[in-house]
Structure 1
Amino acid sequence: MVSEVWYTVLVGLVALERLAELIVAKRNLAWSLSRGGRESGFSHYPFMVVLHTGLLAGCLLEVWLRGDDFRPALGWPMLALVLAAQALRWWCIRTLGHQWNTRIVVVPGLPRVTSGPYRLFAHPNYVAVVVEGFALPLVHTAWITAAVFTVLNAALLAVRIRAETDALRSAHA
Protein backbone atom coordinates (compact mmCIF):
# COMPACT_ATOMS: atom_id res chain seq x y z
CA MET A 1 0.00 0.00 0.00
CA VAL A 2 2.88 2.38 0.69
CA SER A 3 4.29 2.02 -2.82
CA GLU A 4 0.87 2.80 -4.33
CA VAL A 5 0.71 6.02 -2.33
CA TRP A 6 4.19 7.07 -3.47
CA TYR A 7 3.29 6.18 -7.05
CA THR A 8 0.14 8.31 -6.77
CA VAL A 9 2.33 11.20 -5.63
CA LEU A 10 4.58 10.65 -8.66
CA VAL A 11 1.65 10.63 -11.08
CA GLY A 12 0.29 13.74 -9.35
CA LEU A 13 3.62 15.49 -9.85
CA VAL A 14 3.58 14.54 -13.54
CA ALA A 15 0.02 15.92 -13.75
CA LEU A 16 1.21 19.20 -12.21
CA GLU A 17 4.06 19.28 -14.73
CA ARG A 18 1.51 18.84 -17.51
CA LEU A 19 -0.53 21.74 -16.14
CA ALA A 20 2.63 23.87 -16.16
CA GLU A 21 3.12 22.89 -19.81
CA LEU A 22 -0.43 23.99 -20.62
CA ILE A 23 0.19 27.38 -18.98
CA VAL A 24 3.36 27.82 -21.06
CA ALA A 25 1.53 26.63 -24.18
CA LYS A 26 -1.36 29.07 -23.65
CA ARG A 27 1.07 31.97 -23.21
CA ASN A 28 3.04 30.89 -26.28
CA LEU A 29 -0.14 30.45 -28.35
CA ALA A 30 -1.11 34.06 -27.63
CA TRP A 31 2.43 35.20 -28.52
CA SER A 32 2.39 33.23 -31.79
CA LEU A 33 -1.08 34.32 -32.86
CA SER A 34 -0.23 37.96 -32.20
CA ARG A 35 2.63 37.56 -34.69
CA GLY A 36 0.51 35.98 -37.42
CA GLY A 37 0.97 32.37 -36.32
CA ARG A 38 -1.25 29.78 -37.92
CA GLU A 39 -2.49 26.66 -36.22
CA SER A 40 -2.75 23.44 -38.17
CA GLY A 41 -3.50 19.84 -37.38
CA PHE A 42 -6.07 20.88 -34.79
CA SER A 43 -8.47 18.01 -35.55
CA HIS A 44 -6.33 15.49 -33.64
CA TYR A 45 -5.70 17.75 -30.63
CA PRO A 46 -8.78 16.70 -28.60
CA PHE A 47 -7.78 13.04 -29.03
CA MET A 48 -4.28 13.90 -27.81
CA VAL A 49 -5.70 15.57 -24.68
CA VAL A 50 -7.90 12.56 -23.94
CA LEU A 51 -5.04 10.12 -24.56
CA HIS A 52 -2.60 11.95 -22.27
CA THR A 53 -5.23 12.37 -19.56
CA GLY A 54 -6.03 8.67 -19.97
CA LEU A 55 -2.36 7.81 -19.44
CA LEU A 56 -2.36 9.45 -16.02
CA ALA A 57 -5.74 8.01 -15.03
CA GLY A 58 -4.82 4.57 -16.38
CA CYS A 59 -1.61 4.52 -14.36
CA LEU A 60 -3.51 5.12 -11.14
CA LEU A 61 -6.46 2.88 -11.90
CA GLU A 62 -4.33 -0.06 -12.92
CA VAL A 63 -1.99 0.18 -9.94
CA TRP A 64 -4.78 0.56 -7.39
CA LEU A 65 -7.14 -2.02 -8.96
CA ARG A 66 -4.64 -4.72 -9.92
CA GLY A 67 -2.60 -4.34 -6.75
CA ASP A 68 0.73 -5.47 -8.20
CA ASP A 69 3.71 -4.92 -5.97
CA PHE A 70 6.42 -2.42 -6.79
CA ARG A 71 9.25 -4.29 -8.52
CA PRO A 72 12.52 -2.45 -7.90
CA ALA A 73 14.37 -4.07 -10.81
CA LEU A 74 11.79 -2.56 -13.18
CA GLY A 75 10.54 0.43 -11.20
CA TRP A 76 13.78 2.26 -10.49
CA PRO A 77 15.09 2.19 -14.09
CA MET A 78 11.65 3.31 -15.32
CA LEU A 79 11.66 6.16 -12.81
CA ALA A 80 15.06 7.23 -14.17
CA LEU A 81 13.57 7.23 -17.69
CA VAL A 82 10.58 9.29 -16.52
CA LEU A 83 12.94 11.88 -15.04
CA ALA A 84 15.07 11.86 -18.20
CA ALA A 85 11.94 12.37 -20.31
CA GLN A 86 10.96 15.39 -18.19
CA ALA A 87 14.44 16.85 -18.57
CA LEU A 88 14.33 16.36 -22.35
CA ARG A 89 10.85 17.90 -22.56
CA TRP A 90 11.91 21.02 -20.67
CA TRP A 91 15.09 21.25 -22.75
CA CYS A 92 12.80 21.31 -25.80
CA ILE A 93 10.55 23.94 -24.23
CA ARG A 94 13.53 26.11 -23.31
CA THR A 95 15.15 25.71 -26.74
CA LEU A 96 11.99 26.59 -28.68
CA GLY A 97 11.07 29.43 -26.33
CA HIS A 98 7.91 31.18 -27.50
CA GLN A 99 7.63 28.77 -30.43
CA TRP A 100 7.00 25.73 -28.20
CA ASN A 101 3.39 24.65 -27.93
CA THR A 102 1.18 21.65 -27.35
CA ARG A 103 -0.58 22.71 -30.54
CA ILE A 104 0.97 22.95 -33.98
CA VAL A 105 1.45 26.69 -34.56
CA VAL A 106 3.92 28.13 -37.04
CA VAL A 107 4.77 31.83 -37.09
CA PRO A 108 5.66 32.94 -40.62
CA GLY A 109 9.13 34.34 -41.05
CA LEU A 110 10.69 32.74 -37.99
CA PRO A 111 13.62 30.45 -38.75
CA ARG A 112 13.35 26.77 -37.99
CA VAL A 113 15.03 25.95 -34.67
CA THR A 114 18.03 23.66 -35.13
CA SER A 115 19.79 24.11 -31.80
CA GLY A 116 19.57 22.25 -28.50
CA PRO A 117 18.00 18.81 -28.86
CA TYR A 118 16.75 19.79 -32.34
CA ARG A 119 20.31 19.57 -33.65
CA LEU A 120 20.25 15.88 -32.70
CA PHE A 121 16.88 14.89 -34.20
CA ALA A 122 13.76 16.47 -35.65
CA HIS A 123 11.18 15.72 -32.94
CA PRO A 124 12.87 15.39 -29.53
CA ASN A 125 9.72 16.39 -27.64
CA TYR A 126 7.98 13.33 -29.06
CA VAL A 127 10.88 11.16 -27.90
CA ALA A 128 10.15 12.46 -24.40
CA VAL A 129 6.44 11.66 -24.82
CA VAL A 130 7.14 8.12 -26.05
CA VAL A 131 9.59 7.38 -23.24
CA GLU A 132 7.29 8.82 -20.57
CA GLY A 133 4.33 6.93 -22.06
CA PHE A 134 5.82 3.52 -21.40
CA ALA A 135 8.09 4.35 -18.45
CA LEU A 136 5.59 6.11 -16.17
CA PRO A 137 3.19 3.15 -16.04
CA LEU A 138 6.03 0.66 -15.68
CA VAL A 139 7.41 2.45 -12.62
CA HIS A 140 4.73 0.45 -10.78
CA THR A 141 4.19 -2.41 -13.26
CA ALA A 142 1.10 -0.96 -14.96
CA TRP A 143 1.90 -2.86 -18.15
CA ILE A 144 -1.63 -2.71 -19.60
CA THR A 145 -1.60 1.10 -19.46
CA ALA A 146 1.92 1.16 -20.92
CA ALA A 147 0.91 -1.09 -23.83
CA VAL A 148 -2.40 0.64 -24.62
CA PHE A 149 -0.90 4.13 -24.44
CA THR A 150 2.10 3.13 -26.57
CA VAL A 151 -0.06 1.70 -29.36
CA LEU A 152 -2.54 4.61 -29.38
CA ASN A 153 0.24 7.17 -29.08
CA ALA A 154 2.08 5.63 -32.06
CA ALA A 155 -1.03 6.14 -34.18
CA LEU A 156 -1.47 9.69 -32.89
CA LEU A 157 2.18 10.59 -33.48
CA ALA A 158 2.02 9.30 -37.05
CA VAL A 159 -0.76 11.84 -37.71
CA ARG A 160 0.78 14.61 -35.61
CA ILE A 161 4.31 14.40 -37.00
CA ARG A 162 2.95 14.41 -40.56
CA ALA A 163 0.82 17.50 -39.77
CA GLU A 164 3.73 19.26 -38.06
CA THR A 165 6.16 18.43 -40.87
CA ASP A 166 3.69 19.72 -43.46
CA ALA A 167 3.12 22.95 -41.49
CA LEU A 168 6.84 23.59 -41.10
CA ARG A 169 7.55 22.74 -44.74
CA SER A 170 4.89 25.13 -46.03
CA ALA A 171 6.05 27.91 -43.69
CA HIS A 172 9.70 27.51 -44.68
CA ALA A 173 9.19 26.83 -48.38
Structure 2
Amino acid sequence: MATVWFTVLVLATGVERIVELVISKRNAAWAFARGGVESGTGHFPAMVALHTGLLVGALAEVWLLDRPFLPWLGWPMLAIALLCQVGRYAVIGSLGRQWNTRVIVVPGLPLSRRGLYRWPWLRHPNYWIVAIEGVALPLVHTAWITAIVFTVLNAVLLLGFRIPTEERALKAAAPAPA
Protein backbone atom coordinates (compact mmCIF):
# COMPACT_ATOMS: atom_id res chain seq x y z
CA MET A 1 0.00 0.00 0.00
CA ALA A 2 2.89 2.37 0.73
CA THR A 3 4.09 1.93 -2.85
CA VAL A 4 0.75 3.19 -4.12
CA TRP A 5 0.89 6.25 -1.84
CA PHE A 6 4.44 6.94 -2.97
CA THR A 7 3.24 6.77 -6.58
CA VAL A 8 0.52 9.29 -5.75
CA LEU A 9 3.14 11.56 -4.15
CA VAL A 10 5.43 11.39 -7.19
CA LEU A 11 2.55 11.96 -9.60
CA ALA A 12 1.39 14.94 -7.51
CA THR A 13 4.94 16.28 -7.70
CA GLY A 14 4.77 15.87 -11.47
CA VAL A 15 1.52 17.86 -11.57
CA GLU A 16 3.19 20.53 -9.44
CA ARG A 17 6.01 20.70 -12.00
CA ILE A 18 3.44 21.28 -14.75
CA VAL A 19 1.98 24.15 -12.70
CA GLU A 20 5.51 25.56 -12.43
CA LEU A 21 5.91 25.37 -16.20
CA VAL A 22 2.67 27.32 -16.67
CA ILE A 23 3.90 30.01 -14.25
CA SER A 24 7.30 29.99 -15.97
CA LYS A 25 5.77 30.40 -19.43
CA ARG A 26 3.68 33.35 -18.23
CA ASN A 27 6.73 34.95 -16.59
CA ALA A 28 8.86 34.33 -19.70
CA ALA A 29 6.30 36.16 -21.84
CA TRP A 30 6.32 39.05 -19.34
CA ALA A 31 10.15 39.18 -19.42
CA PHE A 32 10.41 38.99 -23.22
CA ALA A 33 7.82 41.78 -23.55
CA ARG A 34 10.20 43.94 -21.48
CA GLY A 35 13.32 43.12 -23.47
CA GLY A 36 14.31 39.98 -21.59
CA VAL A 37 17.32 38.11 -22.87
CA GLU A 38 17.58 34.33 -22.59
CA SER A 39 20.86 32.58 -21.84
CA GLY A 40 21.82 28.94 -21.43
CA THR A 41 19.35 27.40 -23.84
CA GLY A 42 21.80 24.58 -24.50
CA HIS A 43 21.62 23.11 -21.00
CA PHE A 44 17.86 23.55 -20.52
CA PRO A 45 16.86 20.25 -22.23
CA ALA A 46 19.28 18.42 -19.92
CA MET A 47 17.61 20.04 -16.91
CA VAL A 48 14.17 18.98 -18.13
CA ALA A 49 15.43 15.43 -18.71
CA LEU A 50 17.09 15.31 -15.29
CA HIS A 51 14.01 16.50 -13.43
CA THR A 52 11.77 14.14 -15.38
CA GLY A 53 14.28 11.38 -14.68
CA LEU A 54 14.04 12.06 -10.95
CA LEU A 55 10.31 11.32 -10.96
CA VAL A 56 10.44 8.40 -13.39
CA GLY A 57 13.55 6.95 -11.76
CA ALA A 58 12.07 7.08 -8.27
CA LEU A 59 8.91 5.29 -9.40
CA ALA A 60 10.81 2.73 -11.47
CA GLU A 61 13.23 1.96 -8.66
CA VAL A 62 10.48 1.53 -6.09
CA TRP A 63 8.29 -0.64 -8.31
CA LEU A 64 10.93 -2.65 -10.21
CA LEU A 65 13.37 -3.19 -7.36
CA ASP A 66 10.63 -3.63 -4.75
CA ARG A 67 12.04 -0.99 -2.44
CA PRO A 68 10.52 -1.06 1.04
CA PHE A 69 8.99 1.83 2.91
CA LEU A 70 11.05 2.29 6.05
CA PRO A 71 9.11 4.52 8.47
CA TRP A 72 12.24 5.78 10.27
CA LEU A 73 13.52 7.10 6.90
CA GLY A 74 10.34 7.64 4.90
CA TRP A 75 8.42 9.91 7.28
CA PRO A 76 11.28 12.40 7.83
CA MET A 77 12.03 12.43 4.09
CA LEU A 78 8.36 13.07 3.34
CA ALA A 79 8.40 16.02 5.74
CA ILE A 80 11.53 17.38 4.06
CA ALA A 81 10.08 16.86 0.56
CA LEU A 82 6.91 18.71 1.55
CA LEU A 83 8.95 21.53 3.12
CA CYS A 84 10.82 21.77 -0.18
CA GLN A 85 7.49 22.46 -1.91
CA VAL A 86 6.85 25.27 0.56
CA GLY A 87 10.36 26.57 -0.12
CA ARG A 88 9.84 26.34 -3.87
CA TYR A 89 6.76 28.57 -3.69
CA ALA A 90 8.57 30.92 -1.31
CA VAL A 91 11.18 31.30 -4.06
CA ILE A 92 8.53 31.86 -6.73
CA GLY A 93 6.83 34.42 -4.50
CA SER A 94 10.12 36.15 -3.68
CA LEU A 95 11.11 36.53 -7.32
CA GLY A 96 7.63 37.25 -8.63
CA ARG A 97 7.65 37.86 -12.38
CA GLN A 98 11.43 37.39 -12.44
CA TRP A 99 11.13 33.69 -11.53
CA ASN A 100 11.53 31.31 -14.43
CA THR A 101 12.65 27.77 -15.13
CA ARG A 102 14.90 29.23 -17.83
CA VAL A 103 17.55 31.94 -17.55
CA ILE A 104 15.71 35.02 -18.83
CA VAL A 105 16.92 38.36 -17.53
CA VAL A 106 15.42 41.76 -18.19
CA PRO A 107 18.34 44.20 -18.60
CA GLY A 108 18.37 46.95 -16.00
CA LEU A 109 15.79 45.27 -13.74
CA PRO A 110 17.12 45.14 -10.17
CA LEU A 111 17.55 41.78 -8.49
CA SER A 112 14.92 40.74 -5.98
CA ARG A 113 15.95 41.21 -2.36
CA ARG A 114 12.74 39.80 -0.91
CA GLY A 115 12.02 36.56 0.92
CA LEU A 116 14.77 33.96 0.62
CA TYR A 117 16.73 36.39 -1.57
CA ARG A 118 17.14 39.03 1.13
CA TRP A 119 20.16 37.26 2.62
CA PRO A 120 23.29 37.84 0.51
CA TRP A 121 25.02 34.84 2.10
CA LEU A 122 22.32 32.46 0.79
CA ARG A 123 23.18 32.17 -2.89
CA HIS A 124 20.67 30.48 -5.20
CA PRO A 125 18.12 29.25 -2.63
CA ASN A 126 16.04 27.62 -5.36
CA TYR A 127 18.92 25.35 -6.31
CA TRP A 128 19.49 24.39 -2.67
CA ILE A 129 15.82 23.45 -2.42
CA VAL A 130 16.02 21.39 -5.63
CA ALA A 131 19.13 19.58 -4.37
CA ILE A 132 17.52 18.74 -1.02
CA GLU A 133 14.30 17.60 -2.68
CA GLY A 134 16.28 15.43 -5.10
CA VAL A 135 17.51 13.44 -2.12
CA ALA A 136 14.38 13.54 0.02
CA LEU A 137 11.70 12.62 -2.52
CA PRO A 138 13.25 9.30 -3.65
CA LEU A 139 14.23 8.40 -0.08
CA VAL A 140 10.61 8.63 1.04
CA HIS A 141 10.47 5.07 -0.30
CA THR A 142 14.19 4.14 -0.18
CA ALA A 143 14.92 4.80 -3.86
CA TRP A 144 18.54 5.47 -2.95
CA ILE A 145 19.98 4.84 -6.44
CA THR A 146 17.75 7.57 -7.87
CA ALA A 147 18.72 9.91 -5.03
CA ILE A 148 22.43 9.39 -5.67
CA VAL A 149 22.24 9.59 -9.47
CA PHE A 150 20.07 12.72 -9.39
CA THR A 151 22.34 14.39 -6.81
CA VAL A 152 25.51 13.78 -8.82
CA LEU A 153 24.01 14.78 -12.18
CA ASN A 154 22.26 17.79 -10.66
CA ALA A 155 25.53 18.98 -9.11
CA VAL A 156 27.31 18.65 -12.47
CA LEU A 157 24.54 20.51 -14.28
CA LEU A 158 24.15 23.28 -11.69
CA LEU A 159 27.81 23.87 -10.89
CA GLY A 160 29.13 23.32 -14.41
CA PHE A 161 26.46 25.04 -16.46
CA ARG A 162 23.38 26.56 -14.87
CA ILE A 163 24.80 28.68 -12.05
CA PRO A 164 27.71 30.09 -14.11
CA THR A 165 25.27 30.89 -16.95
CA GLU A 166 22.87 32.59 -14.57
CA GLU A 167 25.65 34.56 -12.84
CA ARG A 168 26.98 35.84 -16.18
CA ALA A 169 23.48 36.80 -17.39
CA LEU A 170 22.63 38.64 -14.17
CA LYS A 171 25.97 40.47 -14.15
CA ALA A 172 25.59 41.52 -17.79
CA ALA A 173 22.04 42.80 -17.20
CA ALA A 174 22.69 44.56 -13.89
CA PRO A 175 21.59 48.19 -13.68
CA ALA A 176 24.39 50.73 -14.01
CA PRO A 177 25.63 52.12 -10.68
CA ALA A 178 24.12 55.48 -9.75
TM-score range, shorter chain: over 0.9
1:122 maps to 123
Deviation at 1:161, TM superposition (A): 0.5
Identify the match of residue 168 of structure 2 among 166, 169, 172. Answer: 166
Deviation at 1:84, TM superposition (A): 1.0
Rounded Cα–Cα distance in structure 1 between residues aligned with 2:33 and 2:67: 50
Rounded Cα–Cα distance in structure 2 between residues aligned with 1:30 and 1:122: 26
Root-mean-square deviation (Å)? 0.8
* More helix per residue: 1
Matches within 5 A, 1:118-157: 118-120=117-119, 121-157=122-158
TM-score, normalised on structure 2? 0.95
Deviation at 1:155, TM superposition (A): 0.3
Q: Which runs of 4+ in 1 moved over 3 A?
A: none
Structure 1 residue matching 2:123: 3-state secondary structure? coil
* Structure 2, gaps ≥5 residues long: none
Alignment coverage as a number of residue pairs: 172
2:15 maps to 16
Structure 2 residue matching 1:133: 3-state secondary structure? helix
Q: What percentage of residue pairs aligned between the two structures are identical?
A: 59
Q: Which one-letter code corresponds to 2:140 in the other structure?
A: V
Q: Which one-letter code corresponds to 2:108 in the other structure?
A: G
Matched, 1:104 2:93: no
